Every structure is written in structure tokens, then in C-alpha cells.
Amino acid sequence: MNKETVLYGIPKGETERYAEALLLTNATPALIEKVKALASADGFHSFRVATIDLNVVPDFRKVINSGK
């Protein structure tokens, strides 16, 4: 499997998840904590860590057809 861990954060002044910014790719636990500290100093908040399986093609039809 080809997986990648990424870190997202919401910029200062924003409150919605759609405003998330990608802060880090190929993340390790130590690097995540370092980047979160640096980003927090710049006002970022509500961090989210995600693991992406690069072998799986995303199916956006599920989102489009969900009615949300």
C-alpha cells in the first residue's frame, strides 16, 4: 500500500472546514507537532491529520449524489 499522512489547519479568521490549508505532507508524528506549533504561532487552529491511500481512486460521485 502507498499511503501518505498529511496535516491540515484552518487559518486565522476562518471557522469553516472548507477553508482548511494543507500544511504538511509525508508527515511524521514529530514533524506534525513541530509544524502545528509553528502554524499556531501564525494563527492556524483546528488541525486535522489524515492518511490518504494513494492506490485508491477517489469516487466523488458519492459526494455529488448525496444531496449535501
Q: Is the pTM of this model over 0.75?
A: yes
Tally the domains of the chain.
1
pLDDT (average), residues 41-68 = 88
Q: Would you state the pLDDT for residue 62? A: 79
Q: Which domain holds residue 39?
A: 3-64
Q: What is the pLDDT of residues 8-45, one digit of tens each?
A: 999 999 999 999 999 999 999 999 999 999 999 999 99
Q: How buried is 6 (Cβ within 10 angstroms: 0-12 exposed, 13-18 middle, 19+ buried)?
A: middle
User: pLDDT category, 61, cuts 50, 70, 90?
Assistant: confident
